Amino acid sequence: MKLSTRCRYGTRAMIELARNYSKGPLKRDEIAKREGISSSYLENILISLKSRNLIRTIRGANGGFSLMDSPEKITMYDVVTALEGPVEPIHCIENSEQCVRTENCVSRKFWMSFNEIQVNKLKSTSLQLLLDMEKEQGDYSI
């Protein structure tokens, strides 16, 4: 699976929001500047993240964007699926009726195993874990 630029930038924006979780909301232009992302491109990403209830908008002079939940509770699975959609590498994992060979297909069994590992890694990696890795390494980027 090759992740899109949209997903990579969205991840960086979410990490930036996680860094500021206890400090208050960030304005879109501030996130864009800190992460080197076009503000207009970031706007579409933030809309997707908001529609999946990962972030919220706070209105007013001191408003901006903030995480909907703590960094410990938001996983990379949440972020990736919000920006990429389903992560299954092949269609028949999600819907076995798409192929007549699914019951005896060794290829499908491999892809199901691969997908399970991938999903488990995404679900076990929270934004907080990425922040912790960043502190340990001095600078962690995706």
Give the three-class secondary structure for 43: helix
Helix 5-19, helix 76-84: angle, nearest 10? 140
Contact 13, 46 (CB under 8 A): yes
**pLDDT band at residue 84 under the 50/70/90 scheme:** very high
> What is the four-CA torsion angle of 104, 118, 7, 128, rounded to 10 degrees?
160
**141: pLDDT strictly greater than 80:** no
- DSSP 8-class letter at 125: -
The alpha-carbon radius of gyration of the chain (Å, integer) is: 17
Residue 91 exposure: Cα atoms within 13 Å on the Cβ side:
5
Write the pLDDT tens digit of every residue in 56-80. Answer: 999 988 899 999 999 999 999 999 9
Contact 54, 78 (CB under 8 A): yes
**139: pLDDT strictly greater than 60:** no
Contact 54, 79 (CB under 8 A): yes
Query: Domain residues of the chain, as ranges?
Result: 5-137
Has domain 5-137 been given CATH number 1.10.10.10?
Answer: yes
- Chain mean pLDDT for the chain: 90
**142: pLDDT strictly greater than 70:** no
Higher pLDDT among residues 135 and 42, named by residue: 42
